[in-house]
Amino acid sequence: MSPAMSPATSSETSHTTTPPRRHGRVAALLVALTASVGLVASSGVTASADPDDAPGTYRNHVMDNLADAFSDPSIIRGKDGYWYAYATQTSMRKDNQGGPWEDQYFMPITRSKDLVSWEYVGEVFGPDNHPEWRDFATTYYWAPDVRYIDGKYYLYYSVAGGDKNTIALATADDPAGPWTDIGHPVLPYDYEDKVVNQIDPAVFVDDDGQKYLYYGSFKDGGIQAVHLNDDGTEVVGDPVQVVGARRGEAAYVVKRDGWYYLFYSGLGCCAKADGAYPVFVGRAKDPMGPFVDAEGVGLTGLHLGGTIVNSPNGNKWVSTGHSANVVDKSGQDWILTNGFDRTETDPSWGGRPAVMDRLDWIDGWPTVRAGQWTSDDVETAPVGAWDAGSDFTAGLRGFAAVGAGRWTTGTDADSGTYARPVSRGADPQLLLPRSAPHGDVRLEADVRLRDAAGRVGLVLAADGEDDHAVAWLDASGRLSVELTRHGVVVQKKTARLYDGIDLGTWHALTAEVRDGRADVQLSADLLGIPLAELSIDVPRSWDRGGAASTRGSGEVDNVGVTTLYTPVTEKVADPEVGAELTEYGEEFEDADLDGWSWFGPADGQVAGGEYVWPTQDADFSGKGTMASALLRDAPTGTYTVETKLHLPITDAPDGRSQAGIIAFQSPEDSIHLAPTRTGPSRQVFLWIGRDRDSWPEMQIGPSADTMWLRLRHTVDATTGEHLFRAATSRDGEHYVWGGVWHLPAGKEPRIGLVSLAGKGLTAEFDYVRFSR
């Protein structure tokens, strides 16, 4: 089937982005907020990066001159060349506590040319522009997820309030709006409300045109995946659970090297004092799963997997989850999350700003900053400008027409100014940048077809009129790459696109040229969702980049060439455990327990070379019986403590019975690493709260009935805080190193064992060993 063709409309009026009209009382409020917290109230005025930062750098959080709260971020690069970011409903103020309704920003919208300097451009909804099928004054709008589909911007979002959470959809012709809700929820009310929290949507469009919706949070139904209809407006068929019970939320899906990667965030989204919210990932060969982690452990079932992408690392940022990915102009991936600055004195629940860091892909798995995770210092900024290229706002300056005809410009409401050929000849018409880098580069162009007569493409390399390599789209629904020498095609590869694709709307053609090989990708919106991919070798000496058309059929925009990013190929090393400190260890060979003492009543006993300890119906909250802890003094400075634990959580009764290793200054200032049962799931947590509730603790590696647990202690040289990094293993050899938590400076933490949070299990500890 030939794709539907949409004739483009040209105009002589330059395009400018116009934010949606605001209700008068809300518009007036912008003036006050601008004065009080530096909110930029009008389009075209940029909230700059920190002026103290050197050019080409940035520091988290990325909208620090614009907004204090920008939670659950979603991002897309619009066809006008700006990156647009969207967030959960907020007052964008530090003093937000939900706030009066007139203070609210109903999914605020910001935009940037470089991913560092941002400006406010509007909001998705307001009192005069909102879904009519819900009462506006009692409804919350959370967690937007933006996509570009068939020439429109689609914004899926969570509708919350009372007991009626669901997923809805608004569309717009421009990423700044105005946005129009489709008039009904995408998920029916109570679709699975008893077992699935119907929030946090993410949409993926596969290369066969099939649309998928991912949604869910911390109920027993976990995260679900379901098909959408062709319009993306309703679910089709039955959902499939892709992340297990009480494990995570905030799904986000990309496709890379034939794998579907499902990102999601763990517990602790909204707790400043003790929130974790790590980002995990699994991958599958099918968008409906089953997804597994890097150890081959599935994301559903009793003992849940999940490879850590980002987690607290001991600096000021905590609760850094709910992720969205974006690519800069060099081809480097970046990840946006939201988090809390734990050093601030009184940020409210709503004060979760957006933070951004480099996302590296190493051995087939993503990780933030090679495993260093969220940054709090000055970092190298994303590449926000082409080395050569144009959005054609300034006409064809910097480009030369090569071949059969000349080019001109037009404008429309979506892309602004674009370029198009004048000649209707059958020979390729090339538009090449006059000065572009050679060698390894990233190439890009937004392309569309005006009619079915010809082709439009991205020039991969060229050496004059008759020698070129081009990635072509044609109206028959194919992507092809052709190498032409002396006017003759000498090599060609072709991929069929899905039936019904509308190439009369903008699509992004990109290519990474590395070591003479061009890897080409077609997508709708540069969000890691390829519709087709092809590769071809190109001559190293030919010039790079540009656009192409035949028969005057093509229109192009955002044509650029940028030096290709250098990928990071090695993760930071896991901590070195070092030599055993035998004077601190305990093998439980006798009942003497020299050097150990109890906080609270003595409990458990040495038996058969183990410490055997039934779980207590107690914790450290002070709300009931105070738990006991078997403790000893620890070495000073850097050390690692390890225990081998058998705790039969596979068949555990429903509850929070747990046992593990503890770092203890007091009941208020203590953390412990322990596996437990959480409803249908079994998980390992670094427990940073004092009670037995698993919210908002930090998840680590997969659990098992027999586990090896480690805590590595260091001291922050600046603050004096005691930092503890957790690790888990199911075989005693391969460890998953998770996030870091902190205890106050000053008092030396003691180290020991706990067995607590509900009767019903018996913990067996083989040993406690210290190493340095």
Q: Are strands 610-614 and 605-607 parallel, antiparallel or unpaired?
A: antiparallel
Pick the CATH number of 388-563 from 2.60.120.560, 1.10.238.10, 2.60.120.200, 2.30.110.10: 2.60.120.560
> What would the pLDDT profile of 346-391 be if each residue is shown by its tens digit?
654 457 899 999 999 999 999 999 999 999 999 999 999 999 999 9
**Could you tell me which residue, 46 or 461, shows the higher pLDDT?**
461
Helix, strand, coil distribution of the chain in percent, nearest 5: 5, 45, 50
pLDDT of residue 32: 27
**Neighbouring C-beta atoms of residue 32, cutoff 10 Å:** 12
Equal CATH topology for 24-380 and 582-771 = no
> What would the pLDDT profile of 517-554 be if each residue is shown by its tens digit?
999 999 999 999 999 999 999 999 999 999 999 999 99
Instruction: Look at residue 47 and tell me whether its pLDDT is greater than 50.
Output: no
> What would the pLDDT profile of 218-228 be if each residue is shown by its tens digit?
999 999 999 99
pLDDT of residue 569: 97
Q: In a 3-state reduction of DSSP, which class is residue 530? A: strand
Instruction: Look at residue 571 and tell me whether its pLDDT is greater than 90.
Output: yes
> What would the pLDDT profile of 410-434 be if each residue is shown by its tens digit?
999 888 999 999 988 899 999 999 9
pLDDT of residue 727: 98
pLDDT of residue 553: 94
Q: Which amino acid is at 459?
A: V
Q: d(Cα 110, Cα 567) in Å, to the nearest integer?
A: 29
pLDDT of residue 414: 82
Residues 753, 741 contacting (CB under 8 angstroms): no
The answer to which of 20-34, 145-159, 323-337 has the lowest mean pLDDT is 20-34
The mean pLDDT value of the chain amounts to 90
Half-sphere exposure of 552 (CA within 13 A, CB side): 11
Q: How confident is the model at residue 196 (pLDDT cuts 50, 70, 90)?
A: very high
pLDDT of residue 346: 60
Instruction: Look at residue 43 and tell me whether its pLDDT is greater than 50.
Output: no
- What tokens were used for 497? 């696109």
Q: In what order do the strands lie in the sheet with 259-265?
A: 249-256, 259-265, 279-284, 307-310
C-beta contacts of 716-725 below 8 A and 24+ residues apart = 716/314, 716/742, 716/745, 719/745, 720/745, 720/746, 721/314, 721/745, 722/663, 722/748, 722/749, 723/314, 724/663, 724/671, 724/686, 725/314, 725/575
Q: d(Cα 596, Cα 602) in Å, to the nearest integer?
A: 11
Q: d(Cα 134, Cα 189) in Å, to the nearest integer?
A: 12
Q: d(Cα 104, Cα 23) in Å, to the nearest integer?
A: 12
Angstrom distances, CA of residue 108 to CA of 72, 92, 143, 250:
11, 9, 11, 18
Domain locations in the chain as residue ranges:
24-380, 388-563, 582-771
**Could you tell me which residue, 336 or 137, shows the higher pLDDT?**
336
> What would the pLDDT profile of 644-675 be if each residue is shown by its tens digit?
999 999 999 989 999 999 999 999 999 999 99
Termini Cα distance of the chain: 67
Residues 536, 466 contacting (CB under 8 angstroms): no
Residues 564, 512 contacting (CB under 8 angstroms): yes
Buried b (16+ CB within 10 A) or exposed e, 368-391: bbebbbbbbeebebbbbebbbbbb
Cis peptide before 530 (omega within 30 of 0): no
> What would the pLDDT profile of 229-285 be if each residue is shown by its tens digit?
999 999 999 999 999 999 999 999 999 999 999 999 999 998 888 899 999 999 999
Cis peptide before 188 (omega within 30 of 0): no
E strand segments, 615-749: 629-632, 639-646, 658-664, 670-678, 681-687, 698-699, 706-715, 722-729, 735-743
H or E element: which one contains 49?
none
Angstrom distances, CA of residue 241 to CA of 192, 245, 260, 290, 676:
12, 9, 15, 9, 22
Q: d(Cα 279, Cα 770) in Å, to the nearest integer?
A: 30
Residues 317, 340 contacting (CB under 8 angstroms): yes
Q: d(Cα 716, Cα 189) in Å, to the nearest integer?
A: 49
Residues 283, 261 contacting (CB under 8 angstroms): yes
Beta bridge partners of 586: 768
C-beta contacts of 187-192 below 8 A and 24+ residues apart = 187/213, 187/215, 187/235, 188/235, 189/164, 190/164, 191/166, 191/235, 192/221, 192/224, 192/239
Q: d(Cα 227, Cα 225) in Å, to the nearest integer?
A: 7
H or E element: which one contains 236?
strand 235-243
Spatial neighbors of 119 by CB under 8 A, at least 6 apart, are 40, 43, 44, 45, 46, 47, 66, 110, 111, 112
- What tokens were used for 237? 């068929």
> What would the pLDDT profile of 590-646 be if each residue is shown by its tens digit?
999 999 999 999 999 999 999 999 999 999 998 999 999 999 999 999 999 999 999
Cis peptide before 290 (omega within 30 of 0): yes
Q: d(Cα 277, Cα 273) in Å, to the nearest integer?
A: 12
Q: Which amino acid is at 383?
A: V
**Could you tell me which residue, 104 or 652, shows the higher pLDDT?**
652
**Neighbouring C-beta atoms of residue 491, cutoff 10 Å:** 13
Q: d(Cα 145, Cα 259) in Å, to the nearest integer?
A: 21
Closest CA to 521 of 540, 500, 507, 537: 507
pLDDT of residue 607: 97
Pick the CATH number of 24-380 from 2.40.50.100, 2.40.50.140, 1.20.120.330, 2.115.10.20: 2.115.10.20
Residues 526, 510 contacting (CB under 8 angstroms): yes
pLDDT, average across residues 37-64 = 64
pLDDT of residue 452: 86
> What would the pLDDT profile of 439-449 be if each residue is shown by its tens digit?
999 999 999 99
> What would the pLDDT profile of 497-520 be if each residue is shown by its tens digit?
999 999 999 999 999 999 999 999
Domain 582-771 has CATH 2.115.10.20: no
Instruction: Look at residue 394 and tell me whether its pLDDT is greater than 70.
Output: yes
Q: d(Cα 285, Cα 443) in Å, to the nearest integer?
A: 28
Cis peptide before 61 (omega within 30 of 0): yes
Burial level of 151, CB count in 10 A (0-12/13-18/19+)?
A: middle
- State percent of the chain over pLDDT 90: 82
